Structure 1
Amino acid sequence: MHKNTKKLGAVLGLGLAAAALAQGTTFLTIGTGSTTGVYFPVGTGMAKLMNDAGGLRANARSTGGSVFNMSALASGELDMATVQNDIAYYAFKGTGVSSFEGKANGKVRAMGVLYPEVLHVVARKDAKINSIADLKGKRVVTGDLGSGTEQTARQVLQAYGLDFGDLGQQLRVSPAQGISLMQDKRADVLFYTVGVGASAISQIAQTVDVNIVPVGGNQAASLIKKYPFYVRYNVPAKSYKGINATVPSVAVQAVLVTTTATSEDAVYRAMKATFGDEKAMKAIHPSLAANFSLSKATKGAGVPFHAGAIKFFKENGITVK
């Protein structure tokens, strides 16, 4: 009996210690995107840096992408997320995307800009598509239902005088399903707004003869004028197999966001663990290696910054406008 009591006391002691430890730890769920994209490895890498720093327990989750992430932040299902800057803006204002209409989330806050997300319009060479105008009547993967890519595809088509109704078939599927459709000749073109070097694009280029359709000239100019989130961005030659020349396109920005429901202390600590270690951030993924810097991290977020992020940037001599 005495032995059992001692055992019970030890178990209770361990339980209390665990509870005390848990009390001092902030748990964060970070929404990312498809496992074949860039958000997932970037989110996983940042979660590891947060966990290694101590005091935070971060977990990166694969999701349907930007639009899903903004809705999940609003419901409290997610604490932080990687999203396109335009989608963050639409959620904040309650416009632009049907699921956000009339549901402005004024609690959305930026932590920092990560890297440009480049519009890839990947076409099978045998489909003979050299311009966005050629997409009329074609079978086009426009991104997962509710993804940032779908929103970008709509806006780019509009710049060329087209809409989804002009396509032969609009395929609203995940990037992984899109790869299969391209490989099986069941899709002619795939839209994907993603960092250069994404495994999904590489996978298609390795298995199918493809070309990247340019977005440039007057159409790019009108797109940037109408939607100030966009910037011109050239996909460098040799970025993917068979792409031997630079291709003009447009990009939005990938940004790490949270809401005012996450404490100033948790955001500040998360920022120190990630944005505070530029070398470790660049090592996470080529998109960060080529583009990430603390000096760029406050430019083009699309939404106001979180107090914890402002504190972090101020300590590093950066004023947030």
Structure 2
Amino acid sequence: MKRITTVLLLGTAAVALAQGTTFLTIGSGSTTGVYFPVATGIAKMINDAGAGVRANARSTGGSVFNVNALASGELDAAIAQNDIVYYAYKGTGIQAFQGKANTKLRTMAVLYPEVLHVIARKDAGINSIADLKGKRVVIGDLGSGTEQTARQVLEAYNLGFDDLGQALRVSPAQGISLMQDKRADALFYTVGVGASAISQIAQTVDVKVVPVSGNQAAGLIKKYPFYVRYNIPAKSYRGVGATVPSVAVQAVMVTTTNVPEDAVYRAMKASFGNEAELRGLNPSLASFSYDKAVKGLPAPLHPGAVKFFREKGLNVK
């Protein structure tokens, strides 16, 4: 059984449940983002509870990879952007999901806002999204939610990836190095405020946060209603002295109908059962609440999540 905890194949959770213990692999994202520490913290809470569920968090390429891995059974649960989950559930929105609706996707909980950070080197002469034209820009890992967000935001400014000097599809860790070495002028990253990757860049390079606002932000939100306006607070990062307007989506924890109701219920009771403890896992979760956890769902709640939230007094189905 130890081998199975590393990579789980379709149906493994159900088999393990019959044997008394369920093993769940939770997909996250880059180790320098927020998904990974949140997933790691949730897995630890599940394991510490001793409730017949064992979990491990796995670093991945991000949202698009995660929902595809849920479809193949490589993952049992994952954290992903709510827009990406919706597109996968409906089989629309982006090419990776076109005509391939995964109706087995189920939501466990909405976790926290994921804020678009557009970070530019101060010496790159970038003051607005429009100024990214002709620049070397990190747009996120291939298949990540950040890549999709970058595409949509550039579109709001009548730009595409072809308008950039270079569209650099790399991980956040590689993006840090490119920014530090002056091989990139700017970086897109959709992540919770306070992410270590952004902090690391700001500690070593003079940077500015590029705003997403005005008519462009309004147009983006109208076309893609998953987005909401979000102000990145002043002093969130070194050198950022004023509040910067941007937009955000939501990070959600998702699973599939292949994972039994009892397994999801026990995992959620172990990890979401104590709101205060969950909020303490990461600053991004500071505003988590049960009420918010069931709003803006990109796919139906898993029956195990329904059972959990009903016990907490919420009217869900």
Q: Shared fold by TM > 0.5?
A: yes
Q: TM-score, normalised by structure 1?
A: 0.92
Equivalent position to 2:172, from 172, 175, 191: 175
Q: Which residue of 2 aligns with 1:111?
A: 108
Contact 1:109 1:259 in 2 (8 A): yes
Q: CA deviation at 1:97?
A: 2.3
Equivalent position to 1:279, from 276, 279, 285: 276
Contact 2:17 2:263 in 1 (8 A): no
Q: TM-score, normalised by structure 2?
A: 0.93
Equivalent position to 1:304, from 300, 303, 306: 300
Tell me how far apart the structure 2 counterparts of residues 301 and 237 of structure 1 sit (CA, whole Å): 30
- Partner of 1:69, secondary structure, is helix
Identity in percent: 78
Q: Which residue of 2 aligns with 1:268?
A: 265
Of 163-172 and 299-308, more deviation after overlay is shown by: 299-308
Q: CA deviation at 1:21?
A: 10
Q: Which residue of 1 aligns with 2:46?
A: 50
Q: CA deviation at 1:320?
A: 2.4
Tell me how far apart the structure 1 counterparts of residues 306 and 53 of structure 2 sit (CA, whole Å): 19
Using a 3 Å threshold, how does the CA distance of structure 1 residues 285 and 190 change in structure 2: closer, same or farther? same
Tell me how far apart the structure 2 counterparts of residues 319 and 223 of structure 1 sit (CA, whole Å): 32
Q: How does 1:140-219 map to 2 (within 5 A)?
A: 140-219=137-216
- Partner of 1:274, secondary structure, is helix
Tell me how far apart the structure 2 counterparts of residues 173 and 297 of structure 1 sit (CA, whole Å): 31
Contact 2:43 2:55 in 1 (8 A): yes
Q: CA deviation at 1:294?
A: 1.2
Contact 1:253 1:301 in 2 (8 A): no
Listed as ranges, the gaps of 5+ residues in structure 1 are 1-19
Q: CA deviation at 1:101?
A: 1.4
Paired AA for residue 315 in structure 1: E
Using a 3 Å threshold, how does the CA distance of structure 1 residues 126 and 53 change in structure 2: closer, same or farther? same
The C-alpha deviation readout for 1:46-89, integer Å capped at 9, x for no partner, is 00111111211101000000000000000000000000000000
Equivalent position to 1:237, from 212, 234, 257: 234
Q: Which residue of 2 aligns with 1:36?
A: 32
Q: Which residue of 2 aligns with 1:131?
A: 128
Indicate whether 1:258 and 2:255 are aligned: yes
Tell me how far apart the structure 2 counterparts of residues 319 and 257 of structure 1 sit (CA, whole Å): 20
Tell me how far apart the structure 1 counterparts of residues 17 and 244 of structure 2 sit (CA, whole Å): 52
Equivalent position to 2:93, from 96, 103, 106: 96
Indicate whether 1:67 and 2:64 are aligned: yes
Q: CA deviation at 1:22?
A: 8.7
Tell me how far apart the structure 2 counterparts of residues 95 and 53 of structure 1 sit (CA, whole Å): 38
Tell me how far apart the structure 2 counterparts of residues 167 and 58 of structure 1 sit (CA, whole Å): 41
Tell me how far apart the structure 1 counterparts of residues 208 and 270 of structure 2 sit (CA, whole Å): 39
Q: CA deviation at 1:303?
A: 1.1
Indicate whether 1:314 and 2:317 are aligned: no
- Partner of 1:161, secondary structure, is coil
Paired AA for residue 100 in structure 1: F
Equivalent position to 2:20, from 24, 31, 55: 24
Listed as ranges, the gaps of 5+ residues in structure 2 are 1-15
Contact 1:229 1:302 in 2 (8 A): no
Q: Which residue of 2 aligns with 1:248?
A: 245
Paired AA for residue 105 in structure 1: N
- Partner of 2:290, secondary structure, is coil
Contact 1:88 1:303 in 2 (8 A): yes
Q: Whose Rg is larger?
A: 1
Matched residue count: 302
Structure 1 residue ranges, 4+ long, deviating more than 6 angstroms after superposition: none
The C-alpha deviation readout for 1:100-121, integer Å capped at 9, x for no partner, is 1111100000000000000000
